[in-house]
């Protein structure tokens, strides 16, 4: 392509080097912004007509031309040209070729610097809503599991050592909370995405009589940005978006790790559906948890994408710099990775089976009601530190005698504390332990039922 035919070719006498065209092109990834680019241009053109900057007829030609281009792209009939660099110039050039002089007026009072910012905001605005909806599916899967297994007990862990008994449903609702915070974060971030940048032009605003508020209304933005220089160099909203997505990915990864561990023979807490596992090419007996493993593995790229974007922004002088073109690939990659991970997790959870007999068995060893015994002593007026030490000695005795706390007789218990009475035996049971934890947010059946009901109301299920 000669520079005469390039939209910015006027001041150039030499042809752009082929290597430069290839190096600067972003069309192979920013073509995904075509819908947003066209929507932005349609609103911009409407405003130009209203302000008398172009005629109604020119506006009409632009409207029709852009609509045709959109259809061509949708039907795969549009030819994207790398020598036209990006989505903005590919569409604008196609418009000029299609409708002539009217097309050449579209870029009045606009720069690609505010245009690209607009496109990303429009795109992320939609994508945050889509992610929030998929998060609802994941949260629904957890709530359904919590309902299905209400009453089932399992060991709770700290340091991956058996700690205190829990309801399986309590564990499921922990993830319901985590993914709920993720939704809040996305919606909060959307407030800063949802501001119109168009009208900042190249960096300093424009001398032409535009109406930014009108464009904002057309595109459904509640506000317009306040400072043109800040606007064209701003990708903070994209960093926030990637940070929110990174936390989602970390939550997915932690869940995946648990599923991998729980599905080992050593734990045998859950059974992943055959349709969500794969086999080994050499070991016929294998059923591997590849889905959670892959999700866990994809955390690397998601964290990496956040680091890329942060590093990209560090040290950029105001205002727009071409470096900013590097913002899109990390954003798109994270978005694809996280939304895929969420969707498949929701599906996998719907097929997940807990091995409740095995879970209950696992609560029977590991002295998991030791804290309950200490709390029992506290209620008999023994200072907690002293109670801790008494129970510590009792556990050491059990380890030596190869007994569980529940195997001890009252006489044996009296060796450690005289205040212990018959009522201790209920305290030492798994059910007694779980049911005693009635503090707000605790694992008692009454609290978990309450939380579950609230969750179901929130999701409308
Ligand atoms: N493709 C560019 C980007 O993604 C669009 C803006 C280019 N602006 C410029 N003045 N070169 O950032």
Atom of ligand 1 nearest to the CA of 202: 10
Query: If you measure from the C-alpha of residue 321 to the centroid of ligand 1, how many angstroms do you get, rounded to a whole number?
Result: 8
H or E element that contains 157 = strand 153-158
Q: Which two tokens stand for residue 394?
A: 């009792």
- From the alpha carbon of 328, which atom of ligand 1 is closest? 4
pLDDT tens by residue, the chain, 461 residues? 666 677 888 888 888 898 999 999 999 999 999 999 999 999 999 999 999 999 999 999 999 999 999 999 999 999 999 999 999 999 999 999 999 999 999 999 999 999 999 999 999 999 999 999 999 999 999 999 999 999 999 999 999 999 999 999 999 999 999 999 999 999 999 999 999 999 999 999 999 999 999 999 999 999 999 999 999 999 999 999 999 999 999 999 999 999 999 999 999 999 998 888 888 787 888 788 999 999 999 999 999 999 999 999 999 999 999 999 999 999 999 999 999 999 999 999 999 999 999 999 999 988 999 999 999 999 999 999 999 999 999 999 999 999 999 999 999 999 999 999 999 999 999 999 999 999 999 999 999 999 999 999 999 99
Between CA 111 and CA 219 the distance in angstroms is 18
Distance 34 CA to ligand 1 centre (A): 15
The pTM assigned to this predicted structure is 0.94
Distance 205 CA to ligand 1 centre (A): 17
N-terminal to C-terminal alpha carbon distance within the chain:
58
Structure confidence at residue 242 (pLDDT)? 98
Q: Which residues of 412-451 are buried (b: 16+ CB within 10 A; e: fewer)?
A: ebeebbeebeeebeebbbbebbbbbbeeeebbbbebbbeb
The CA–CA distances, whole Å, from 455 to 133, 142, 371 equal 15, 10, 29
Tokens, residue 294: 């892959």
pLDDT at 7: 80
Please give the pLDDT value at position 212: 98
What distance in Å separates the CA atoms of residue 228 and residue 197, rounded to the nearest whole number?
A: 8
Atom 11, ligand 1: which residue's CA is nearest?
Answer: 322
Q: How far is CA 281 from CA 284, 286, 287, in A?
A: 7, 9, 11
Given the CA of residue 116, which atom of ligand 1 is nearest to it?
5
Give the active site residue among 280, 351, 414, 446: 280
Distances (CA, A) of 126 to 190, 301, 337: 9, 23, 17
- The protein residue whose alpha carbon is closest to atom 12 in ligand 1 is 325
Whole-number Cα distances in Å, 321 to 227, 239, 312: 17, 17, 10
* Domains annotated on the chain, with CATH: 3-108 (1.10.275.10), 113-361 (1.20.200.10), 364-459 (1.10.40.30)
Check if the beta carbon of residue 405 is closer than 8 Å to that of residue 394.
yes
Give φ, ψ of 355 to 5 degrees: -90, 85
The residues lining ligand 1, judged by C-beta closer than 6 Å to any ligand atom, are 26, 86, 112-113, 116, 322, 324-325
- For a pocket test of ligand 1, which of 112, 115, 201, 320 has the largest count of ligand atoms closer than 8 A to its C-beta? 112
Whole-angstrom distance, CA of residue 449 vs CA of residue 458? 14
Nearest atom in ligand 1 to the alpha carbon of residue 87 is 1
């Amino acid at each position: 392509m000669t520079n005469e035919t390039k939209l910015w070719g006027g001041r150039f006498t030499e042809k752009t080097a082929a290597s430069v065209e290839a190096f600067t092109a972003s069309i192979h990834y920013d073509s995904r912004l075509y819908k947003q680019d066209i929507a932005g241009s349609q609103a911009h053109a409407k405003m130009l007509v209203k302000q008398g900057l172009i005629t109604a007829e020119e506006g009409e030609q632009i409207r029709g031309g852009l609509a045709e281009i959109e259809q061509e792209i949708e039907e795969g009939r549009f030819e994207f040209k790398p020598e036209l660099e990006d989505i903005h110039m590919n569409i604008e050039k196609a418009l000029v070729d299609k409708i002539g002089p009217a097309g050449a007026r579209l870029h009045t009072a606009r720069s690609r610097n505010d245009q690209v910012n607009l496109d990303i905001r429009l795109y992320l605005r939609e994508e945050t809503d889509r992610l929030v909806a998929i998060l609802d599916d994941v949260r629904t899967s957890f709530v359904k599991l919590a309902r299905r297994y209400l009453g089932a007990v399992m060991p709770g862990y700290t340091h991956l050592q058996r700690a205190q008994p829990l309801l399986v449903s309590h564990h499921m609702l922990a993830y319901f909370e985590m993914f709920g915070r993720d939704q809040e974060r996305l919606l909060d971030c959307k407030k800063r995405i949802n501001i119109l940048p168009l009208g900042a032009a190249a960096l300093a605003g424009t001398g032409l009589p535009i109406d930014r508020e009108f464009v904002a209304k057309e595109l459904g933005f509640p506000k317009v940005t306040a400072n043109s220089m800040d606007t064209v160099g701003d990708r903070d909203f994209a960093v926030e978006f990637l940070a929110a997505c990174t936390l989602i990915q970390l939550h997915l990864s932690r869940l995946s790790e648990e599923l991998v561990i729980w599905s080992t023979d050593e734990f045998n807490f859950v059974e992943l559906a055959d349709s969500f596992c794969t086999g080994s090419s050499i070991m016929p007996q294998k059923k591997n948890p590849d889905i959670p493993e892959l999700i866990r593995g994809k955390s690397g790229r998601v964290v990496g994408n956040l680091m890329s974007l942060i590093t990209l922004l560090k040290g950029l002088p105001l205002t727009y710099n071409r470096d900013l073109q590097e913002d899109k690939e990390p954003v798109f990659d994270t978005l694809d990775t996280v939304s895929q991970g969420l969707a498949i997790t929701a599906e996998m959870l719907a097929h997940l089976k807990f091995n409740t007999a095995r879970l209950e068995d696992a609560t029977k060893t590991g002295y998991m009601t030791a804290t309950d015994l200490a709390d029992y002593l506290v209620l008999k007026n023994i200072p907690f530190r002293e109670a801790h030490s008494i129970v510590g000695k009792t556990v050491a005795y059990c380890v030596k005698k190869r007994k569980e706390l529940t195997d001890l007789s009252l006489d044996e218990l009296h060796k450690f504390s005289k205040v212990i009475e018959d009522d201790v035996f209920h305290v030492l049971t798994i059910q007694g332990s779980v049911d005693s934890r009635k503090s707000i947010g605790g694992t008692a059946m009454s609290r978990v039922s309450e939380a579950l009901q609230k969750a179901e109301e929130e999701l409308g299920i």
